[in-house]
């Protein structure tokens, strides 16, 4: 049964506002599982808005797993997704992994381009044996002193505090737990990292997507989003996943001026780190007390290091570090020693530089070849290529028919009305430029074929 006066004095009658109200009612148990929602036309009449706006809200709720459309039988409440089932968007991105002869869906780095960790591990273990490396006590600093010094020299602004956690997603999780409460509004890039969207949805946040261009987040789009009084802005300052865009210094300055009158804090996830070709640009140079910068090392030095650094606004960083004292306490100082070694060892530095150049070459070859074949693709930096398609499902089927795995684009997007895309990762495309081109031609052929008969393998 629908609650009496369901819409009340709903102040925000946008698609986002309607979706947030339905989410709230479901969370409070006022809309139980199995409840049939009013039709799009009925809601539009009651609220005095366009049916298109209501349809967008229903689509957003459907993508979040809160409602399901049964066609002519209407839209039914499913309830708030069970966290035990895991991250919904992230599952969709990774569910096809390992099934294809050429799997370009993973978003992980090329193992052959990671620096050799054996020597660094040996040196770190030797230091521990001598007693001048990782500590065996519970009271030492959470950050190994030698790594702390290396990180400070690399930071894009002077951080109020700095700590180390178990990877970039751990950083996002812990920072959001400090900054975001249920019902808060947060701003993200319109196409962004699916696990971040999963995380924010499970925290009960109202997510607002902002558009971008070749220089980063659009100033006009951010200005409009700030009217909703968000508590935080999450962004990837370079090699943005999935578009590959890197923020320019000029755009960073513009965004700082727009943000300063607001109360929103900024969380920057520099996930690509040293494999990104663009220089580090941070809003922290203009507003250091409101920015928390995350520097990840999984793409550049190895996912199994499980390390990322957090630095910036002291109150937030200290809150993260203090809360960790009641959990893991600290990230392995032995692995921190390995990372400090890799960040200063000449051979490791050269290896990462080689990887950076290799990824740049692959991006260039892939985008140029796809463009030549009439495919709209973007890969400004990093390891991903964002490809526009007419229908996501048809494109994935067409590629799968040729033994190629790709990621659906919809889990990356906030708004269901955005143009459809797929994402591929160049880390899985190996070889010289001459060897890569036939692979890309095969991808292009499949994507062209999806416009006619996507379910058939071309003869």
pLDDT in tens, 64-119: 778 877 666 678 887 776 654 567 777 777 666 667 888 998 888 999 999 999 88
By C-alpha distance, which of 187, 198, 211 is closest to 64?
Answer: 198
Strands of 93-184 (E only): list them: 102-103, 161-165
Confidence of residue 455 (pLDDT cuts 50, 70, 90): very low
CA distances from 2 to 22, 31, 36, 54 (A): 11, 7, 8, 17
Q: What is the pLDDT of residue 96?
A: 62
- The tokens 């990093």 sit on which residue? 382
Residue 103, phi then psi, degrees to nearest 5? -95, 110
pLDDT, tens digit, 9 for 90 and up, residues 120-166? 888 888 876 666 655 556 657 889 999 999 999 999 999 999 999 99
- How many residues would you count in the chain? 459
What domains appear along the chain, each with residue ranges and CATH number? 15-78 (1.10.10.10), 87-107+348-449 (3.90.1150.10), 131-344 (3.40.640.10)
By C-alpha distance, which of 295, 37, 337, 335 is closest to 167?
Answer: 295
d(Cα 214, Cα 128) in Å, to the nearest integer?
47
Q: Is 79 exposed, middle or buried (0-12, 13-18, 19+ CB in 10 A)?
A: middle
DSSP helix/strand/coil, 46? helix
Helix (H) or strand (E) holding 441: helix 433-449
Q: What is the pLDDT of residue 228?
A: 92
d(Cα 69, Cα 59) in Å, to the nearest integer?
9
Spacing of C-alpha 80 from chain mean position: 22
d(Cα 308, Cα 290) in Å, to the nearest integer?
19
Model-level pTM? 0.81
């Amino acid at each position: 049964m629908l609650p009496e006066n369901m819409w009340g004095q709903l102040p925000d009658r946008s698609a986002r506002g309607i979706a947030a109200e339905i989410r709230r009612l479901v969370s409070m148990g006022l809309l139980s599982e199995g409840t049939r929602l009013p039709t799009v036309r009925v809601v539009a009449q009651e609220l005095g808005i366009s049916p298109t706006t209501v349809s967008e809200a229903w689509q957003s709720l459907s993508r979040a797993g809160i409602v399901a459309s049964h066609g002519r039988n209407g839209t039914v409440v499913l309830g708030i997704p069970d966290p035990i089932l895991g991250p919904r968007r992230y599952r969709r991105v990774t569910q096809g992994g390992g099934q294809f002869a050429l799997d370009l869906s993973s978003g992980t780095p090329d193992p052959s381009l990671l620096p050799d960790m054996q020597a660094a591990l040996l040196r770190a273990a030797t230091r521990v044996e001598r007693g001048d490396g990782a500590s065996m006590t519970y009271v030492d600093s959470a950050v190994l002193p030698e790594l702390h010094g290396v990180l400070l020299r690399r930071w894009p602004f002077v951080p109020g505090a700095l700590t180390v956690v178990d990877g970039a997603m751990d950083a996002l999780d812990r920072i959001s737990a400090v900054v975001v409460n249920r019902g808060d509004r947060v701003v993200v890039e319109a196409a962004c990292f699916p696990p971040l969207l999963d995380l924010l949805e499970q925290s009960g946040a109202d997510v607002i997507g902002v558009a971008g261009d070749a220089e980063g987040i659009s100033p006009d789009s951010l200005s409009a989003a700030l009217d909703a009084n968000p508590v935080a802005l999450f962004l990837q300052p370079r090699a943005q996943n999935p578009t590959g865009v890197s923020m320019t210094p000029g755009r960073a300055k513009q965004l700082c001026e727009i943000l300063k009158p607001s109360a929103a804090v900024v969380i920057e996830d520099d996930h690509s780190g040293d494999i990104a070709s663009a220089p580090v640009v941070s809003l922290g140079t203009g507003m250091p007390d409101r920015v928390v910068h995350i520097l990840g090392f999984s793409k550049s030095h190895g996912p199994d290091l499980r390390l990322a650094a957090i630095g910036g606004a002291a109150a937030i960083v200290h809150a993260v570090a203090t809360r960790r004292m009641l959990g893991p306490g600290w990230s392995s100082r032995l692995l921190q020693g390995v990372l400090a070694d890799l960040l200063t060892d000449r051979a490791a530095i050269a290896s990462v530089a080689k990887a950076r150049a290799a990824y740049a070459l692959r991006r260039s070859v892939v985008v140029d070849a796809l463009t030549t074949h009439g495919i709209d693709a973007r890969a400004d930096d990093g390891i991903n290529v964002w490809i526009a398609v007419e229908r996501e499902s048809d494109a994935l089927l067409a590629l799968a028919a040729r033994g190629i795995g790709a990621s659906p684009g919809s889990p990356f997007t906030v708004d269901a009305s955005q143009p459809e895309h797929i994402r591929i990762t160049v880390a899985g495309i190996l070889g010289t430029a001459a060897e890569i081109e036939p692979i890309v031609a095969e991808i292009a052929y499949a994507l062209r074929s999806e416009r006619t008969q996507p379910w058939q393998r071309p003869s």
